[in-house]
Amino acid sequence: MNASALPAAFASPPDETATAILDAASRRFLHYGYSKTTMSEIASDCNMSPGNLYRFFPSKLDIAEAFVRRLRADHLEELRSAVDGPGLSTAERLRTYFRTKLRLAYDRFHERPKAYELSQEILKERASFATEWEAAEARIIEEVLDRGTAAGDLVLPDRARVARLLQDVFFRFTTSAIFFEGDFQTLAAELDEVMDLVLDGFAWRHSGLVRGA
């Protein structure tokens, strides 16, 4: 998936100077952390004055948001590539999607903790970004459900709503607390059990059975 296929909000800055600033800031964020990086240091790395830097990014938080958007664009691309694998059934696409999402979060938490912390800070400070991110992920899930419905695997009239509900169901596997509970394989096995319950529910609905009161 190329950059033009990504949601516009998650694309990299088109301006070459802005991109150079973001590259310099990214190196500092990943090495020193967000709180220990200053605008003056970023400007110095780019051989420009702090005043010129502010012409491109009004604040350090704006640079941090651009940094996280770049990470999220890569994340979205990996999720979409995972579910677009050839020969996958609807059940396999759903399982692969949430397993991939878990792996990306788990790896970032353990291998790139400063990037993970910065992502969480942006999600907290900029609610609109969190909303955009959830919607972008939900669209990928909805596309999987659309394909499953078209193939006759699912009976889901409101697939957009179901995509959001699936995000709720698997929210536990995106929170940092779970990453201390075990290694990736242990957590993935638990995720698979939750997915089995979800797929059982889909199969029940597909059979036309009605849940009792």
Give the residue, 47 or 124, on which the prediction is more confident: 47
Angle of helix 16-32 relative to helix 113-125, nearest 10 degrees, comes to 120
Domain 61-206 class?
A: mainly alpha
Helix-strand-coil split of the chain, %, nearest 5: 75, 0, 25
- Asked if 178 and 194 count as a contact pair (C-beta separation under 8 A), the reply is no
* Confidence grade of residue 211 (pLDDT, cut at 50, 70, 90): low
| Residue 175 in tokens | 């929170």
pLDDT value of position 2: 42
The domain limits of the chain are: 61-206
DSSP for residue 47: T
Q: At 104, phi and psi to the nearest 5?
A: -60, -45
> Could you report the per-residue pLDDT of 165-183, keeping only the tens digit for each?
999 999 999 888 888 888 9
